[in-house]
Amino acid sequence: MSRYINSRIASNSNEMYSDLFEERDVKKIIQNRTYVVKQVPQEVLDTIRSDTYIWKYGDSYWRLASKYYGDPKVWWVIAAFNRKPTEALLNIGDEIKIPLNLSDAMQVV
């Protein structure tokens, strides 16, 4: 399931993008609004069973989502659960949590 499934759509015709519009032969672009991650209290996250995972060289959220859930598109669940929206915020050796029940995790993040 995409994290954008319930996101709002915006129409952008800002002249700042005029070169892009001309290049694509369009007058506007349609885009998803920026997704805002909820700040879920740690006590709530702690109620969801999870595995501890040590971040290694070459890791990515989408690879972990594919391994644990069989779907790389739900990478954002792991990111939100750990309050680290991008892999750039992780270092080799960092400990992260992987929620074991995807549906439970999706209900809170």
Ranges of each domain in the chain? 8-37, 42-108
pLDDT at 60: 97
**How does 55-90 read in b/e, with b if 16+ C-beta sit within 10 Å?**
beeebebbebbeebbeeeebbbbbbbbbebeeeeeb
pLDDT at 89: 95
Whole-model pTM?
A: 0.69
CA distances from 68 to 11, 45, 86 (A): 36, 18, 18
Task: Tell me the pLDDT tens digit for each residue of 48-81.
Answer: 999 999 999 999 999 999 999 999 999 999 999 9
Residue 1 has pLDDT above 90, yes or no: no
Collapsed DSSP state (helix, strand, coil) of residue 62: helix
